[in-house]
């Protein structure tokens, strides 16, 4: 419950009490009301304005990298990055710094491996750690310091967000890619396989490669999953042939730090129905029959024409003989 909701009724009760009655109140009651009022006045500074939003748990692949999403607010007006000092330190000791702009004040085994990815002036305190070691598990906390001026680097306001720290789960081996696909491919038809892998280092996205296919057959995507996790995707579309049945397709993920993992899929290609062995002989036989029928019709017509010509010739000879016999 908001502290103001508790305090205000007591405060108004106190100020509405007649002075004589106020004098009769015991000292402890007055002190309690005074403390509650003061707490209500100053509580926004400590509970609302000094706030950091840090992912509490993340996986970290040894030899690779990790990015910790972080944002914060402070009670001062908007300040440029030059007046803000961002620090990441071990939760047990704020002097054990794993990141600071002055590298000489950073723990030796973290020097050159940490940097801020965002601008402090934009309330972004995201941290990148590269070349992860198996002992980099944390917890690590963020601390902000506000300088007096851009030239006067002494800090007047400092705050460590020790309630918002990140702890890493160290992964000695990378996760295997996940393959999404239909169970059976159909011969001579497009077949799509999606390879995806989760990671926690968006500044160095894992590279996904295939054991077959060309660049024109691949579409790549990278999206945020939330809570510091990201997913790299590679989508392969192929046209399987009959010879591809029971062949393997492998997707390999190469992470920052050179570690790799892979997953293999065995293709099962369903043949498309082929009736050529029936259609071709049928068409050939039909074509032959048509040609033979046309030839027969032509020969019959020619034969009939020849018979008609012979009949005409015989009629002419008979007529001549008849005329000669009359003479």
- Residue 84 CA to residue 102 CA, distance in Å, equals 13
Which range (33-42, 57-66, 246-255, 262-271) has the least confidence? Answer: 33-42
Task: Between 310 and 114, name the one with better pLDDT.
Answer: 114
Backbone phi, psi, residue 177, to 5°:
-65, 155
CA distance 116 to 107: 16
- The structure tokens 């009629």 sit at 315
Q: Which region among 100-114, 176-190, 222-236, 298-312 has the lowest average model confidence (pLDDT)?
A: 298-312
Give residue 235's pLDDT: 97
Confirm if 212 and 176 have CB atoms less than 8 A apart.
no
pLDDT at 3: 44
Greatest extent of the chain over all pairs of C-alpha atoms, in Å: 179
Q: At what angle do helices 3-16 and 27-44 cross, to 10 degrees?
A: 140
Look up tokens 């500044």; give the residue: 203
Q: What is the pTM of this model?
A: 0.66
Among 97, 85, 84, which residue's Cα sits nearest to residue 140?
Answer: 97
Helix (H) or strand (E) holding 212: none
Three-state SS sequence of 189-211:
CCEEEEEEEEECCCCCCCEEEEC
The better pLDDT of the pair 261, 8 is held by: 261
pLDDT surpasses 70 at 112? yes
- The predicted structure's pLDDT at residue 2: 40
Residue closest to 182 by CA, chosen among 194, 173, 174, 171? 194
- Binned at pLDDT 50, 70 and 90, residue 43 comes out as very low
Q: What would the pLDDT profile of 192-233 be if each residue is shown by its tens digit?
A: 999 999 999 999 999 999 999 888 899 999 999 999 999 999
């Amino acid at each position: 419950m908001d502290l103001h909701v508790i305090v205000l009724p007591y405060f108004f009760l106190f100020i509405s009490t007649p002075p004589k009655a106020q004098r009769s109140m015991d000292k402890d009651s007055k002190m309690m009301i005074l403390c509650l009022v003061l707490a209500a006045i100053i509580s926004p500074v400590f509970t609302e304005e000094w706030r950091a939003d840090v992912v509490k748990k993340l996986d970290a692949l040894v030899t690779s990298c990790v990015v910790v999403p972080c944002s914060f607010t402070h009670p001062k007006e908007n300040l440029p990055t030059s007046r803000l000092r961002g620090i990441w330190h071990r939760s047990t000791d704020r002097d054990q710094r794993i990141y600071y702009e002055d590298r000489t004040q950073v723990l030796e085994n973290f020097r050159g491996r940490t940097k801020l990815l965002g601008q402090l002036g934009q309330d972004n305190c995201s941290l990148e750690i590269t070349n992860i070691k198996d002992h980099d598990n944390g917890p690590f906390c963020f601390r902000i310091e506000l300088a007096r001026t851009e030239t006067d680097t002494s800090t007047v306001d400092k705050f460590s967000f020790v309630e918002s720290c990140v702890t890493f789960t160290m992964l000695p081996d990378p996760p295997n890619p996940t393959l999404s696909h239909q169970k059976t491919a159909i011969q001579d038809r497009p077949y799509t396989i999606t390879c995806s892998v989760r990671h926690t280092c968006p500044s160095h996205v894992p590279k996904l490669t295939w054991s077959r296919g060309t660049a024109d057959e691949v579409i790549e995507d990278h999206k945020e999953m939330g809570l510091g996790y990201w997913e790299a995707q590679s989508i392969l579309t192929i046209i399987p042939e009959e010879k591809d049945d029971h062949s393997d397709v492998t997707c390999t993920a190469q992470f920052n730090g050179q570690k790799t993992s892979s997953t293999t899929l065995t293709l099962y290609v369903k043949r498309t129905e082929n009736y050529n062995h029936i259609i071709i002989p049928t068409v050939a036989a039909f074509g032959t029959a048509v040609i033979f029928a046309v030839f027969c019709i032509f020969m019959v017509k020619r034969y009939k024409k020849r018979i008609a010509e012979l009949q005409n010739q015989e009629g002419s000879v008979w007529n001549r003989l008849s005329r000669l016999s009359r003479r």
